[in-house]
Amino acid sequence: MNSASTIAKLKPLLKDIFNHLHANPEVGWKEYKTTEYIKGLLEDKPCKVRTFHDCTGLVAEIGNGKPVIAIRADIDGLWQEVNGEFQANHSCGHDAHMTIVLGILFTLIEDGFPNQGTFRFIFQPAEEKGNGAISLVEKGVVDDVDYLYGMHLRPIQELEYGQFAPAIRHGASWSLQGVITGEDAHGARPHLNANAIQVGSEFFQHLSNIYLDPMIPHSVKMTSFHAGGESTNIIPGNATFSVDMRAQTNEAMEALFEKVKRIATMLSDYHEVNIKLTVETCIAAAVINKEASSLMESAIIDTVGKGQLVPMITTTGGDDFHFYSIKRPTIKATMLAIGCDLEPGLHHPSMTFNYDAIEPSVEILVNALWRTVDKYFKE
C-alpha cells in the first residue's frame, strides 16, 4: 500500500506537532502536559484512548481482533544544563518519536486499515528513568500484543540521513547511586576519620581496573561525586556518588555489577566506613525477534530502496523498550533505526537532526504494519 501521498498531506500538521513537543519537554513521570496534548489531538479521531489514574502516558487503539500490533513512542525529555541553566530538554529525539507514531495513526485513519487486526499506539512515560516500560507491562498494556515496533533516531556516527536499519541491538545500561557514611574530622586531625573524598577517589581508580571479556563491549565510570561543604577546615566523612555501567549483554552486566560491589566491600572494610550501593536504573540488553526484524527490513527496502538499508545497529546505549519482550517473551519486537544526521550526539544539550527523516520513517512503519497483518493471516 502506498501511503506517501497521505503522509505528504499530513506534513504541515506533523511539523506543528513536533514544534510544540520540542518546545514543551517534560521529564519522566511528570509528562502531564505532554499527555494532555496528545490526548487532545486524538479527541476527534475514531480511536479508543486510555489514560492512567496513577501515571502519565496514554494508549490509543484502532481496529479489533488479532493480530494485536503495538507501536511505542517514548514521551519524556531529559533534565540537563542548557546554556547555563538546568531544564527539561528533548535531546534524545523523543519529540520526533511521538510525532512519528502520531503520523502513523493519522495515516491509518485517513487511508483505512485492515478489517481484521488491532493497532495499539503506546505513548510511554519515563524511558529515561528506565522504568516506564515495566510500569506499562504491569498495567497489562501488552499482555495480548503479538508484534511490537519501536523507533529511535540514530547519531550521525551510526547512520547518515536517509539510511535505516531494521533493528537496534542496545546494550544493558545500569545506573547506581552510592552513599559513603562515616564521620567528619577537623582539618588538623586527619588521623581521626576516613576522608570521604579519598575513599571516592580510590573507588574511581578501582573502577578503571575492572576487566571483563574484551570481546564484549562494556564500560563503568563514576558520573557524579559530592562531599564537603562551605567550611574548608572540615574533612568530610560522608559523600554521595553515581556510577554509570554499560555492557552489551545482560550476563556481562551482572559480572560488572559483582565487581563494583566487591570494590565497595573492600573499601568499606579498609577505611571502616559504610558504602551503600543502590541500583537506580536497570535497563536490559536488547532481545530482537528475527521475524519482526525481517518484516521491518522488507518495509525499508520497499519504501526507500535497498541502497538505504543498513544491517542491524549495535550500540552501547540502552532503551527500556526491550523490557516489553523480556517480560512478555511471546511478543515479537524490533526497533527501526533512523538515520537523520543527528549531531553532535544523543543527549547533547544542543542536539540537532534533519527533520525530513520523519516522513519516510512514518511510511516505513506503516508499511511494516501492513506487512505484519498480511504475514499473520498467511501463516
Q: pLDDT digits over 230-284, tens only? A: 999 999 999 999 999 999 999 999 999 999 999 999 999 999 999 999 999 899 9
Task: Count how many domains the chain has.
Answer: 2
Boundary (domain end) residue, out of 239, 260, 283: 283
102 and 189, same domain (yes or no): no
- Tell me the pTM: 0.88
242 and 342, same domain (yes or no): no
129 and 249, same domain (yes or no): no
Q: How buried is 378 (Cβ within 10 angstroms: 0-12 exposed, 13-18 middle, 19+ buried)?
A: exposed
The predicted-structure confidence for 191-226, as pLDDT tens digits, reads as follows 999 999 999 999 999 999 999 999 999 999 999 999
User: What does each C-alpha distance from 27 to 35, 191, 355 come to in angstroms?
Assistant: 12, 44, 22
* Among 369, 379, 328, 378, CA closest to 68: 369
304 and 367, same domain (yes or no): yes
Boundary (domain end) residue, out of 249, 283, 317: 283
Which residue segment(s) compose the domain that 229 sits in?
A: 172-283
* Among 34, 29, 144, 92, CA closest to 346: 92
207 and 134, same domain (yes or no): no
Average of per-residue pLDDT values in the chain: 97
| Grid cell of 36 as nine digits | 494532555
189 and 230, same domain (yes or no): yes
Which CATH number characterizes residue 179's domain?
A: 3.30.70.360
Boundary (domain end) residue, out of 283, 312, 330: 283
Whole-angstrom distance, CA of residue 312 vs CA of residue 281? 25
The predicted-structure confidence for 290-319, as pLDDT tens digits, reads as follows 999 999 999 999 999 999 999 999 998 889
54 and 140, same domain (yes or no): yes
